[in-house]
Structure 1
């Protein structure tokens, strides 16, 4: 039995749709065997608790059949996986592909890549939301000095003054991290600086605070 198996990237994306990128099926269908390398996640099966659990490696796509089964050649030398070497044949499917590099420019842009890039902007968020399971109950946008700062601060609206005064209760993370937990406010992200919204818990909708 091999000491590795391929990670299903579709499952990762379902768990973290706003922070984990993998090419859409529409993009993958345009990739041409012989002119494309794709990156896959090779999970390492080991009894060693200190061993790395995966290696990301590139595979030269050689062919794909009518059933969506791909065959390629490993284009990396594994560092941790000992029963795999560069030049070995790898069988895989769409769900295993997490990145690609192709000689020809594709006809369309990938909306998934655009979404992830947008969600990479940073925000301040309360630990109520990140660590304690609260929904986003209040969010406001203000201009800041950081280049990657979206301007948004997100709170549960249940924080006490003592809680807010402790700076360790506020984290600086990508918007995507928060959206993975609660995306009910995603339609507000393009609102201008100075915007301030609160959540009506009964209706489950946000209203503007003037």
Structure 2
């Protein structure tokens, strides 16, 4: 079974609000003796769908953006042993032991939950967003619709999911400033692709329907 180290920067670019990578500021602080986590991936997935695992590596040498290290984890599947010497670059590091300066933003992206229709996930787009008052503390406040759902679809709770706000921002992060608007508010995408507030939204019908 052959393996390689994933380029986490490419993975971050594909999902910038849900796939965390350390900041350049933190990566520049790394020194000999620090521990970093890398993603070891099989060239071919196993029969059970397993493709790789994240494991800690202890840095033994630093030269610019390149590092030497030794594996500090016991692998579950990969044919590699603890203590194996490795060469890797900054592009392979997905976690460090340092505190991130923008950690609060990442907490928001991962810990803030919203409601979306399954159609949003299927189409990877949304055209309507609404912020309601939560019933209880911690309940999702924002809801997102593709705009293609009909009444029958909307009336079936099985068609809705709770996900982190980062999932939605991966589709369109132009809404970041809108997310700070207090409830009750609703926004719809116009013909130019921009979100405009729906001034005459039927809140009585929505809240009492």
The TM-score with structure 2 as length reference comes to 0.86
Pick aligned residue for 1:64 from 37, 62, 65: 62
Q: Which structure has greater helix proportion?
A: 2
- The 1-side partners of 2:50 and 2:14 are apart by 21
- The 2-side partners of 1:193 and 1:143 are apart by 6
The structural deviation recorded for 1:114 is 3.1
- The 1-side partners of 2:31 and 2:62 are apart by 9
Determine if contact 2:35/2:97 at 8 Å carries over to the other structure: yes
- Distance change (3 Å), C-alpha of 1:17 and 1:149: farther
- Distance change (3 Å), C-alpha of 1:10 and 1:146: farther
Aligned residues: 198
In the alignment, structure 1 segments of 5+ residues that lack a partner are: none
Give the alignment's Cα RMSD to 1 decimal: 1.9
Q: Which residue of 1 aligns with 2:207?
A: none
- The 2-side partners of 1:132 and 1:204 are apart by 16
Tell me the SS of whatever aligns to 2:75. Answer: coil
The structural deviation recorded for 1:16 is 0.7
Determine if contact 1:143/1:193 at 8 Å carries over to the other structure: yes
- The 1-side partners of 2:54 and 2:188 are apart by 42
Q: Is residue 130 from structure 1 mapped to residue 121 from structure 2 by the alignment?
A: yes
Matches for 1:49-198 after TM superposition, within 5 Å: 49-50=47-48, 52-66=50-64, 68-82=65-79, 84-102=80-98, 109-111=100-102, 113-120=103-110, 121-133=112-124, 135-145=125-135, 147-198=137-188
Q: Segments of 4+ in structure 1 off by > 4 A?
A: none
Determine if contact 2:115/2:140 at 8 Å carries over to the other structure: no
Determine if contact 1:18/1:115 at 8 Å carries over to the other structure: no
